[in-house]
């Protein structure tokens, strides 16, 4: 197994992916991107992927080797960048920095996987096409693959300084709708039931559900209410973004949201939504993180550090079904979704070697407690 892939080949592969733009909402663009990802992956892995189209969105799955698949490697090829972004953000490599739409999140990570997994037996590589939208079509596929695996390794980009993502907050999304009664705001406002006032009461209650000391944030966000400036609003709503570190907190907030009751006489309250992604808790990644630190020492690489982040990924889903999961194994750089998105070129070989060593090590130890823990829970 080659642990030091040609950097020139890696950069060529990354450029090939970047220069096929893949905004998540454009089904045709995602399909074209899947063609390019499949071609590059087949060139490195020696086998073509299975193409899986769900709700018009194109995903790719490689089964590597003839034996039972035990390790799931997970990534996505869709990006947030609209078509035409290459005109203003071309793919460049200058002074050791690679730039281009989607390079950090997470096309470089895909190329790392292609180079790291060459020659391995017992791995599934799943590359989805809708992660940036919240994985609406691929969630069930991801969870099915995770249930079959003994460990899940997620090629999302690293946290600051190359840290691995050992915790990710879970996400819940809600919509709080108030229905009141319209009336003329000047002639008889008392005859109405003001939906805006009801929503104001509810927004204060909702914001109070946060527990910063536990990492729980509950944030009322976009809102709308009313029709004209001289009418008591008869209806309105606001959205709520919830981020939690534990399932216990996610359940607590969910129960509180569903327990909201109207304050104004005559008002009706409707709460829709709920948990979107479970948290990736530290316990799900601890053993894998310890193992990868030991491998880094063996490879004479800097020991990776750990980071807890608020953003979610498909690693939340794999951890949510009980599979040990380590995230942030992809490229080192920064600027995800921003004009300064970039990858540090010199970090690519070492990160790729570390990924290859981790997968090989997991496959070589059938009684590894990291591998058996997830299976025992299912």
pLDDT of residue 29: 98
Question: What is the C-alpha to C-alpha distance for residues 195 and 193, in angstroms, rounded to an integer?
Answer: 6
307: which strand partners? 165
Give the pLDDT confidence of 75-126 residue by residue, as tens digits: 999 999 999 999 999 999 999 999 999 999 999 999 999 999 999 999 999 9
For the chain, the domain total comes to 2
- Tokens (6 digits) for 261: 């009751």
- How many percent of the chain have pLDDT more than 90? 93
Band (1; pLDDT cuts 50, 70, 90): very low
Mean pLDDT, rounded, for 209-213: 97
Q: What is the DSSP string of 248-267?
A: HHHHHHHHHHHT----STT-
Which of the listed residues 215, 246, 276 is the one where a domain comes to its end? 276
pLDDT of residue 314: 97
pLDDT of residue 373: 47
pLDDT of residue 5: 53
Question: What is the C-alpha to C-alpha distance for residues 30 and 24, in angstroms, rounded to an integer?
Answer: 6
Question: What is the C-alpha to C-alpha distance for residues 101 and 61, in angstroms, rounded to an integer?
Answer: 23
Note whether residue 1 is domain-resident: no
Note whether residue 2 is domain-resident: no
pLDDT of residue 351: 97
Q: Are residues 114 and 42 part of one domain?
A: yes
Q: Which run of H or of E encompasses 17?
A: helix 7-18
Predicted TM-score (pTM) of this structure? 0.88
Which of the listed residues 261, 276, 291 is the one where a domain comes to its end? 276
- Tokens (6 digits) for 22: 């893949």
Q: Are residues 330 and 365 part of one domain?
A: yes
Give the pLDDT confidence of 147-201 residue by residue, as tens digits: 999 999 999 999 999 999 999 999 999 999 999 999 999 999 999 999 999 999 9
Which of the listed residues 222, 257, 276 is the one where a domain comes to its end? 276
Give the pLDDT confidence of 314-354 residue by residue, as tens digits: 999 999 999 999 999 999 999 999 999 999 999 999 999 99
């Amino acid at each position: 197994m080659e642990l030091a892939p040609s950097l020139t080949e890696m950069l060529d592969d990354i450029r090939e992916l970047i220069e096929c733009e893949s905004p998540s909402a454009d089904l045709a663009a995602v399909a074209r991107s899947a063609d390019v990802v499949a071609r590059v992956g087949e060139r490195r892995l020696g086998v073509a992927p299975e193409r899986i189209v769900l709700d018009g969105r194109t995903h790719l799955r490689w089964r590597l080797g003839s034996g039972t698949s035990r390790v799931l490697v997970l990534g996505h090829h869709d990006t947030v960048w609209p078509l035409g972004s290459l005109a203003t953000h071309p793919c460049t490599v200058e002074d050791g920095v690679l730039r281009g739409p989607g390079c950090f999140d997470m096309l470089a990570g895909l190329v790392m996987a292609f180079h790291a997994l060459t020659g391995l037996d017992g791995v599934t590589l799943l590359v989805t096409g809708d992660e940036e939208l919240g994985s609406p079509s691929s969630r069930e596929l991801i969870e099915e693959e995770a249930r079959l695996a003994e460990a899940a390794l997620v090629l999302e980009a690293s946290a600051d300084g190359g840290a691995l993502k050992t915790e990710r907050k879970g996400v819940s999304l809600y919509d709080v709708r108030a229905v009141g009664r319209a009336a003329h705001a000047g002639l008889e406002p008392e005859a109405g039931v003001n939906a805006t006032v009801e929503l104001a009461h509810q927004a204060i209650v909702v914001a109070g559900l946060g527990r910063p000391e536990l990492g729980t944030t509950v944030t009322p966000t976009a809102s709308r209410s009313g029709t004209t400036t001289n009418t008591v609003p008869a209806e309105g709503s606001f959205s709520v973004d919830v981020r939690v570190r534990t399932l216990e907190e996610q359940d607590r907030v969910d129960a509180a949201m569903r327990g909201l009751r109207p304050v104004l006489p005559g008002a009706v309250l409707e709460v829709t939504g709920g948990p979107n992604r479970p948290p990736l808790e530290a316990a799900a990644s601890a053993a894998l993180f310890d193992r990868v630190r030991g491998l880094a020492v063996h490879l004479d690489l800097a020991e990776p550090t750990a980071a807890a982040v608020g953003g979610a990924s498909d690693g939340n889903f794999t951890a949510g079904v009980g599979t040990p999961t380590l995230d942030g194994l992809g490229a080192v750089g920064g600027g995800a979704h921003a004009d300064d998105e970039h990858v540090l070129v010199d970090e690519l070989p070492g990160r790729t070697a570390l990924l290859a060593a981790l997968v090989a090590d997991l496959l070589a130890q059938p009684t590894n407690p990291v591998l058996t823990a997830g299976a025992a829970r299912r």
